[in-house]
């Protein structure tokens, strides 16, 4: 028996009775599902935001520094420090999205690419994944290629500095942290 | 100079010209902001989902195991393995939310509570934070107290097993991973 499924009477998938879409929210397509609770058999309406997959990139320069981006974020209303990231275009392979976003946001190109895996940004209401890539031997080869609605500053820092910025909360974007946790030890009080 | 702000001509906050709310989405209140790009001075409309803060809890039993919850998630349409979590009620202190959610979802009560810090679930479009708590010496004192719309299984596992489940992707909720990264070394290939 799969040890992640320790009890045969554990949570079961719910049956979907109905699906109804709301008006597009540009980044998302809201969907209202009517689902049946598998034990009480009562119906419940739940909101799902349909979204394309995302990617983010841990890029390491040939000098061993991490490539970071700073930009004003409209949800938090703050200038954040993050790693390069973006949305997978329709029909695009997320490996290509990773290369494209690194180049467009920072001008860096990397020779060695390794897939780190995915995380689920929020399984409670989002239906998408965030794919995470490690880009090594990254070199500055181009200028930035930003959308008119972007304003992004590029910087590089040592892994130790990045770890310190995570620990003091200067880097606090959850998706960024999950990618960094695959390559840095982010525990409190360890060196 | 703050080393996270390395360049004085780096990204500046954008000026908000207008804010307009859409219909409530229960979990969220959509808001459309019209903002001015600080360099081009062009206006852009951006979506923000206003949301209450969230909490999640790394609970360690007196026997040293982590308390996990399994439930069907409507966004991913899968049964997930996570740590206890929930929404901060209006006027509630997130320290109380953490205690309440641990007790309601699992029946566990903990003697020792430590604030681990917050993460920003998604600064691009969410305006909320997720506060993270460590609960130690957790003991099973009560039954579960679930909402009619919940179906949650409780299990406990050793830190090593939890780390393995993160590495093999069985635990993939981004907010869960950011909390676990504060207490476990989640790097690939380390023991």
Per-residue pLDDT tens over the stretch A101-140: 999 999 999 999 999 999 999 999 999 999 999 999 999 9
pLDDT given for residue A2 in this prediction: 39
Q: CA-CA distance, A59 to A47, in Å (whole number)?
A: 35
Q: CA-CA distance, A26 to B122, in Å (whole number)?
A: 16
In CATH terms, the fold of domain B54-180 is Nucleoside Triphosphate Pyrophosphohydrolase (3.90.79)
State whether residue B27 is helix, strand or coil. Answer: coil
Q: What is the ipTM of this complex?
A: 0.93
Contact B95, B53 (CB under 8 A): no
Average model confidence (pLDDT) for chain A?
Answer: 92
In the predicted model, is pLDDT for residue A5 greater than 70?
A: no
Q: CA-CA distance, A83 to A54, in Å (whole number)?
A: 13
Asked if B39 reaches chain A (Cβ–Cβ under 8 Å), the answer is yes
In the predicted model, is pLDDT for residue A95 greater than 50?
A: yes
Q: CA-CA distance, B89 to B76, in Å (whole number)?
A: 25
Q: B95-149 pLDDT, tens per residue?
A: 999 999 999 999 999 999 999 999 999 999 999 999 999 999 999 999 999 999 9
- Considering only the beta carbons, identify the residue of A11, A22, A118 that sits closest to B79: A11
List beta partners, residue A72. A79
Q: A160-170 pLDDT, tens per residue?
A: 999 999 999 99
- Compare all CA atoms of chain A with the CA of B184 and give the residue at the minimum distance: A187
Asked if B162 reaches chain A (Cβ–Cβ under 8 Å), the answer is no
pTM of the model: 0.93
What is the arithmetic mean of pLDDT over A76-82? 96
Q: CA-CA distance, A106 to A125, in Å (whole number)?
A: 31
Contact A31, A21 (CB under 8 A): yes
Q: CA-CA distance, B91 to A48, in Å (whole number)?
A: 26
Nearest one of B105, B102, B100 to B70, comparing CA atoms: B105
Better-scored residue on pLDDT, B61 or B10: B61
- Considering only the beta carbons, identify the residue of A81, A130, A184 that sits closest to B174: A130
**Alpha-helix residue ranges (DSSP H) falling in B33-133:** 94-106
Nearest one of A181, A165, A186 to A70, comparing CA atoms: A165
Asked if A75 reaches chain B (Cβ–Cβ under 8 Å), the answer is yes
Q: CA-CA distance, A33 to B69, in Å (whole number)?
A: 23
Chain B environment of A37 (Cβ under 8 Å): 148-149, 151
Cross-chain residue pair B123–A75, CB shorter than 8 Å: yes
Q: How many CB atoms lie within 10 A of CB B70?
A: 20
């Amino acid at each position: 028996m799969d040890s992640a499924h320790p009890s045969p009477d554990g949570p079961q998938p719910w049956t979907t009775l109905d699906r109804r879409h709301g008006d597009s929210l540009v980044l998302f397509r809201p969907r209202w599902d009517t689902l049946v609770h598998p034990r009480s058999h009562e119906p419940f309406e739940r909101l799902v935001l349909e979204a394309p997959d995302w990617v983010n990139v841990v890029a390491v320069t040939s000098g061993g520094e991490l490539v970071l981006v700073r930009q004003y974020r409209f949800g938090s209303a703050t200038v954040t420090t993050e790693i390069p990231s973006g949305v997978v275009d329709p029909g695009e392979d997320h490996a290509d999205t990773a290369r494209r976003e690194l180049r467009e946001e920072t001008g860096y190109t990397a020779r060695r690419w390794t897939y780190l895996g995915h995380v689920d940004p929020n399984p409670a209401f989002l239906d998408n994944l965030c794919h995470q890539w490690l880009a090594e031997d990254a070199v500055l080869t181009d200028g930035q290629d930003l959308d008119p609605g972007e304003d992004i500053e590029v910087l590089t820092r040592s892994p130790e500095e990045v770890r310190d910025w995570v620990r003091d909360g200067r880097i606090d974007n959850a998706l960024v942290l999950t990618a960094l946790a695959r390559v840095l030890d982010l525990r409190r009080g360890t060196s």
